[in-house]
Amino acid sequence: MSFILVNNNKEELIIIPNEAIRVRVIANSDNEEDIRIKEIIKDDFNKNVEKILKNVNTLEEARIKIKNNIKNIHKIVEKKLKELNYNKDFHINYGLNYFPSKEFKGLNYQNGYYESLVITLGEGKGPNYWCVLYPPLCLINEKEDIKEYHLFIKDILNKYILT
């Protein structure tokens, strides 16, 4: 099993297993308004998916929760887009989705197909947000104690390493 190492701003290492579930929200275009809408959808999605994945302890549990909540996620995005009077179509796909290569914090992430949930707004020709849903590396609540979060991630990784 291989891992990706990520440096956070406190010079600590966080290990991300390759067997993770990613998320991607793609803007309709590089137009300022489309990018603003993408950011709102991303924030609303993260807030709601945090509730869905609460108390999930394994990759398989995360898969089941996501699959069982695809219709709810669709309704959440649809509702938010209506509130914003944004009349473009959107698509949600959970499965193996293509991710282009990306450099982030000095690390290069290879392009390829990854297990992920992708929300594409309109034509999906704009910039994208991406992160890791499980382990929940992008769902850190600012109010949480970061040490507690690191212990949670360590416990998850021990399950990967020891099994």
**Separation of alpha carbons 2 and 144, rounded Å:** 28
Distances (CA, A) of 87 to 2, 45, 75, 80: 42, 18, 15, 11
Is 55 inside any structural domain? yes
Is 68 inside any structural domain? yes
Per-residue pLDDT, 139: 57
Q: Tokens at residue 163, please?
A: 């099994």
Q: Is 88 helix (H, G, I), strand (E, B) or coil?
A: coil
Is 28 inside any structural domain? yes
- Overall domain count for the chain: 1
Per-residue pLDDT of the chain (163 residues; tens, 9 = 90+): 444 444 444 444 444 566 889 999 999 999 999 999 999 999 999 999 888 998 898 999 999 999 999 999 999 999 999 999 999 999 999 999 998 887 766 667 778 899 999 999 999 999 999 888 888 776 554 444 444 445 555 665 666 555 5
Per-residue pLDDT, 132: 85
Is 155 inside any structural domain? no
Is 71 inside any structural domain? yes
Q: Tokens at residue 134, please?
A: 């499980």
Structural domain for 71, as ranges = 21-142
Is 136 inside any structural domain? yes
Q: Report the predicted TM-score, pTM, of the whole model to 2 decimal places.
A: 0.76
Q: Is the Cα dihedral 77, 58, 134, 125 positive or negative? A: negative
Is 40 inside any structural domain? yes
**Separation of alpha carbons 160 and 60, rounded Å:** 12
How long is the chain?
Answer: 163
